Amino acid sequence: MWLGSEVMFFAGLFAIYFTLRSAAPEQWAAESQLLNLPYSLTNTLILVSSSFTAQFGVFAAERLQPRATGWKPTQWGMVEWFFLTYALGAVFVCGQVFEYANLVSDGIMLNSNAYGASFYLTTGFHGLHVTGGLIAFLLVIGRSYAVKHFGHKEATSAIVVSYYWHFVDVVWIALFMIIYVLK
């Protein structure tokens, strides 16, 4: 249910973006030229790779292996994979902040025009959702240390957090395609 409400929330943001874009196509053409596609693609690949690391963490949780049994990634447990996912997600968020700083220096701000408002609303709310996912990963990791026995309940928590993370990644792929590729 909750993910369904999130789908509706982002559908609303997409509707705002497309409505404003159709009302000012010249503005979109001019402002979107300031976006740095190679930089954003790199940041996107970082976020997408975090979905893979999250899934490896889920596989470890399903094996009821909370922590590593050795140094090789094939021996990592859920905690190690989720820490790596957290790091990749944090790099993505920092990359977004850096991109915002560059765009603000180029004159694109939240209150500058419809393009700035729609860009920052859609990507900003996505960034907040990524940050929420990062907090969820820390809670699942902390829970794995807090319990005496890592069982199915803890594995289920890891799986649920991964669903949310994959959803956030899919939303970003759609945002990336619409904002950066289909200018």
pLDDT (tens digit, 9 = 90+) per residue, 37-51? 999 999 999 999 999
22 CB-near residues (< 8 Å, 6+ apart):
none
| pLDDT band at residue 1 under the 50/70/90 scheme | confident
Length of the chain: 183
b/e 121-141 (16+ beta carbons within 10 angstroms → b) = ebbebbbebbeebbebbeebb
**Alpha helix stretches (DSSP H) within 24-113:** 25-32, 37-62, 78-105
CB atoms within 10 A of CB 161: 23
| Mean pLDDT, the chain, whole residue set | 95
Percent of the chain with pLDDT over 90: 93
Do 114 and 23 contact (CB within 8 A), yes or no? Answer: yes
Task: State which amino acid sits at residue 89.
Answer: G
Reduced to 3 states (helix: H, G, I; strand: E, B; else coil), residue 77 is coil
pLDDT (tens digit, 9 = 90+) per residue, 124-158? 999 999 999 999 999 999 999 999 999 999 999 99
Domains of the chain: 2-181 (1.20.120.80)
- For 13-16, the CB contacts below 8 A with 24+ separation are 13/121, 13/122, 13/125, 14/122, 14/174, 14/178, 16/118, 16/121, 16/122
d(CA 11, CA 131): 20
CB atoms within 10 A of CB 28: 20
pTM confidence score = 0.93
Q: What is the pLDDT of residue 3?
A: 81
